[in-house]
Structure 1
Amino acid sequence: MMISPEGYYEVNLKGKSQGEILKEIRSLKREINQLKRYLEEHSLEPEEMFPTRLTRLKCNREYLDRAIQAYAETGGIYKPTKAEQKDQAFNESLQHMKRFIFDYGGYFGGYEKRTCTITDEKVLFDLEHSLYLKPSNHPVYEPFTKVEFLEGIAALHIGEWKRNYIDPLVFDGTQWSIDIEYEGDHKPVYIDGSNAFPYNFDDLLEFLGVNEEGDEDEV
């Protein structure tokens, strides 16, 4: 069982020196990176550990945030890594996002495209599937506000993801891509994969309401 961030603080950080807290921060970051690598290298294997590695990773993120806060409380100035700066910059750019397009599927189950368009304070949602006729030519509003949608995307830490995830040993299976368009001069973001996935890809599927069984979702 994982403990809360405050419980973690009481057990591992309270009363520690600045140097000891910094050492704990480095240890947490090493474990987070190890968990990411394992999950991506074994993305097609079922998870049998409990708590799962992804749960441990998410908890360690919260512990890391608490450790950085404790480090600042001792007068330390935390310097984020390039990867952390990249993720932070990505999340800041979301305020200028106008469209999030997700393609997902395979040869046998068909392909679907989910397009989420930011309009004022709502998210306009459109679904196309290669094996199904659309029930209507009119898009519908997904039950997300703009704030909820952007917070959900930010929580995925897509800024940390690689730009390509490819398993060269698997020819059939699942292909996917993310295409993010922005207002103004922000450069678009494109990420894709074939039978390989980021460590928290299932969180993205859940957030977008993708049914991995291949059945068409009700919209």
Structure 2
Amino acid sequence: MAGESRPDEFRFDIGGCFDGMRFVGLRESTVVMGRGMGSYADDEESITPSDEDWRLFVKAIDQSNVWKWKRKYVDPNVLDGTEWNLVIRQGEAKKKCYGSNDYPPEFDALIDAINLLVKREFFER
């Protein structure tokens, strides 16, 4: 993965029943992001990151050990809260994982990488 350009597939969303969801995803060479409830998106927008933006994103993803994350992170002691989903594929490497009120140790690094890619603090840490 290191040294490669943008992922072949990428989607991340996070939120809860009270706050709705925020999502970011790759659509061809464009990054689409928005907020919404369920499959309905409010104020969807898109940006086209530069090759350098993608290079920095991929490097940050590699450094956050996303490729080694478990498939699921769940805290069964919390009924309502925050759920998240990640799908990323680059070449032969693919990671699909989710969480409910629990996170891998490097989760904040993923949030930072996404915020860097979209050039704003779209997701809170």
Alignment TM class, shorter chain as reference: 0.7 to 0.9
- Which is greater in Rg? 1
Query: 1:207 and 2:113 equivalent?
Result: yes
How many angstroms apart in 2 are the aligned matches of 1:99 and 1:191? Answer: 14
> Which structure 1 residue ranges, 5 or more long, are not aligned?
1-90, 214-219
Deviation at 1:212, TM superposition (A): 2.4
Number of matched residues? 115
CA offsets 1:44-73 (integer angstroms, 9 cap, x no match): xxxxxxxxxxxxxxxxxxxxxxxxxxxxxx
Task: Return the match for 1:191 from 93, 97, 100.
Answer: 97
In structure 2, the residue matched to 1:170 is 78
Question: Equivalent pairs: percent with the same residue?
Answer: 25
How many angstroms apart in 1 are the aligned matches of 2:103 and 2:35? Answer: 21
> Is the strand fraction higher in 1 or 2?
2
TM-score normalised over the length of structure 1: 0.45
The within-5 A match list for 1:19-34 is none
Whether contact under 8 Å (1:104, 1:176) holds in the other structure is: yes
Superposition RMSD in Å: 2.8
How many angstroms apart in 1 are the aligned matches of 2:12 and 2:44? Answer: 20
The structure whose RCO (Cα within 8 Å, separation 6+) is larger is: 2
CA offsets 1:148-200 (integer angstroms, 9 cap, x no match): 221121111112211110011111111001011345xx364211100000012
> Which structure 2 residue ranges, 5 or more long, are not aligned?
116-121
Query: 1:154 and 2:52 equivalent?
Result: no
